[in-house]
Amino acid sequence: MDEETIRQDTDSVTVGGLWSTVNRRTVLKSALGVAAGPVVLSLSCASSDTLSRKERPVRFGVVTDCHYADVDPAGTRFYRQSLDKLGECVDRMNAEKVDFLIELGDFKDQGRPPVERDTLAYLEEVEAVFRRFDGPTYHVLGNHDVDSISKPQSLAHVTNTGVDRTRSYYSFDVKGLHCVVLDANYRSDGADYDRGNFDWTDANIPADELDWLRRDLATARGPAVVFIHQLLDGTGAVYVKNATEVRDVLERSGKVLAVFQGHHHAGDYNEINGIHYYTLVATVEGQGAENNSYAIVEVCSNLDAIVTGYRRAACKTLTLARPTEQRV
Summarize pLDDT for 278-327 with one digit per residue, the tens.
Answer: 999 999 999 999 999 999 999 877 677 789 999 999 986 544 434 333 32
User: What's the average model confidence in pLDDT over 113-121?
Assistant: 97
Find the helix or strand (DSSP H, E) in which 130 lies: helix 116-130
- Residue boundaries of the structural domains of the chain: 18-47+55-306
The residues, any chain, with a CB within 8 Å of residue 119's CB and separated by 6 or more, are 69, 108, 110, 111, 147, 148, 149
CA distance 54 to 26: 21
| Phi, psi for residue 298 in degrees, rounded to 5 | -115, 130
Q: Judge whether residue 54 has pLDDT over 60.
A: no
Question: Looking at residue 299, what is its pLDDT?
Answer: 87
Task: State what percent of residues in the chain have pLDDT above 90.
Answer: 74
pLDDT tens column, 9-32: 444 333 332 233 334 555 554 554
What are residue 58's DSSP bridge partners?
299
The amino acid that residue 128 corresponds to is A
Q: Which CATH architecture has domain 18-47+55-306?
A: 4-Layer Sandwich (3.60)
**Residues 223, 227, 230: CA angle, nearest 5 degrees:** 140
CA-wise closest residue to 318 among 302, 306, 301: 306
Pairing between β-strand 58-63 and β-strand 293-299 as defined by DSSP bridges: antiparallel
Asked if 255 contacts 214 with a C-beta cutoff of 8 angstroms, the reply is: no
Pairing between β-strand 11-15 and β-strand 305-311 as defined by DSSP bridges: unpaired
Beta strands in 120-246 (DSSP E): 137-139, 170-174, 177-181, 224-228
The residues, any chain, with a CB within 8 Å of residue 120's CB and separated by 6 or more, are 149, 153, 157
| Phi, psi for residue 62 in degrees, rounded to 5 | -140, 140
Beta strands in 33-191 (DSSP E): 40-43, 58-63, 100-103, 137-139, 170-174, 177-181
